[in-house]
Structures are given as structure tokens and as C-alpha cells.
Structure 1
Amino acid sequence: MPYTVNGEELETDDEGFLLEADFSDDVVPVIAVAEQIELTDAHWQVIRFMRERYKEDGQTPNFRNMVALLQDEDDSVDWKKRLYELFPMQPNRQSAKVAGLPKPFGKGGY
């Protein structure tokens, strides 16, 4: 199911992950609609985080590492609970998908 962003069709795998990362902010709302997610500032915070991790590490973190890294950035939030509120279908995978990143390795990254 390819996504069309600004008139360009982006290739996806059979689960709807982009085959190549797209860091354009225009791709995020298109994928979010397909995932039935109404974007908030909190979603964008996680999307920016996932994109940064992907750029730095070449992959996205698994859920446990994601929670720990976000906790290091902002310990005023219960990130385990918050991530499931924002991305209820496996937060590390769904947030990577909405961020315009390829499917995480194995069970969800490093």
C-alpha cells in the first residue's frame, strides 16, 4: 500500500513501512491518517526522537531502550504508559512507521 505525498508515490512493504526513510514532515500526516492517529505535539516529539535515533544509529530502538532513552530526556513523563497512549499498536514499530522510517530490525531495533 504505497503512500502518495505531494504527488509522489512512496514504496512500502506489505506492512506499510516505507522501504527507504523519508525525513520530510509532509510524509508524517499521510501515514498517521492511514494508522488512524491524530497527531499532537507529543506524537511529534516521539517522531523527532525516532528520526534522530535512526540517523545516529542506522536503526530505531526497541521498546525497552526507547523508554529508557526518552526517560533520560524527560523524566517527568511515564514513557511506558505514554507511548502506548500515543502509538497503541506496538509503540516502537508504529512510531517508526509514522515517522517515515523503514521497518525496525527483528523485534524492534537495538
Structure 2
Amino acid sequence: MSYVVAGNEIETDDEGYLLEPDFGEEIVAVVAAAEGIELTPKHWEIVNYMRDEYRENGHTPNFRNMLKGINEFWPEADSKALYDLFPVGPAKQAAKVAGLPQPKGKGGY
């Protein structure tokens, strides 16, 4: 599987996660469309959070730590709100849409 962004083919693993991170905005739109997600400003907040966590830690957080981190800028966020944005599973699907490699183990640290 792969995605095409601006005429360039970007390689993925078998589940559609990028092999190397891509922090461009275009990849987010392409992956979100492939996942059936219509991007909103809240999606972008989560995408940027996941990218920041990846840059700082080299991987993305598991769901529990993700929710805790997101509550710092979106205090009313809960599990349902995140599943409404990323219905397949917020920690993994948000990482995929953010253009990041597949989370390790149970979704990161």
C-alpha cells in the first residue's frame, strides 16, 4: 500500500502507516480521506499534538497518556470525544492520519 502526495508515492506498511514520518499538511489530508475522516480544527489539534509527542519522544502515546495530554489544551475531552474524531481507535488512527509510523506495542508509552 502507498499514498500519492503531490505526485510522489509514499510507502506504507501493510496497515497503511507511513514507514517514515511526514510532517507535511498534504499527507494528513490524503490519509484522512483514505480513512473516511473529514478533517475539522479538532482533528488538526490532535494531529499536531501527536506530531509534537513523536518529535519529543520518538513515538506516540498510548490512549490513556494521549487523553491526559490532550486534556491540557482541551479540558472537556473524554474517550467518547476522541472516538468521535478517530473511530477506529484514537491513539493508532490519529498517529496514522498525522503521517507517523505505526505505534509500537499498545500504542506507545
- What TM-score, normalized to structure 1? 0.96
The question of whether the paired residues in 1 share the 8 Å contact of 2:51 and 2:100 is answered with yes
How far residue 81 of structure 1 moved from its aligned partner, in angstroms, is 1.7
Detail structure 1 runs of 4+ shifted over 2 Å in the superposition: none
How far residue 82 of structure 1 moved from its aligned partner, in angstroms, is 1.0
CA RMSD, 1 decimal: 0.7
Secondary structure (helix, strand or coil) at the match of 1:89 reads coil
- What TM-score, normalized to structure 2? 0.97
- Cα distance in 1 for partners of 2:47, 2:16 equals 17
How far residue 73 of structure 1 moved from its aligned partner, in angstroms, is 2.6
Structure 2 gaps, min length 5: none
- Paired residue for 2:63? 63
- Cα distance in 1 for partners of 2:53, 2:77 equals 20
The yes-or-no answer on 1:89 pairing with 2:88 is yes
Secondary structure (helix, strand or coil) at the match of 1:73 reads coil
Report the AA paired with residue 80 of structure 2.
K
The question of whether the paired residues in 1 share the 8 Å contact of 2:70 and 2:77 is answered with no
The question of whether the paired residues in 1 share the 8 Å contact of 2:3 and 2:31 is answered with yes
Structure 1 gaps, min length 5: none
- Cα distance in 2 for partners of 1:79, 1:25 equals 26
- Cα distance in 2 for partners of 1:10, 1:98 equals 14
- Paired residue for 1:49? 49
- Cα distance in 1 for partners of 2:89, 2:23 equals 21
- Cα distance in 1 for partners of 2:3, 2:77 equals 33
The question of whether the paired residues in 2 share the 8 Å contact of 1:70 and 1:79 is answered with no
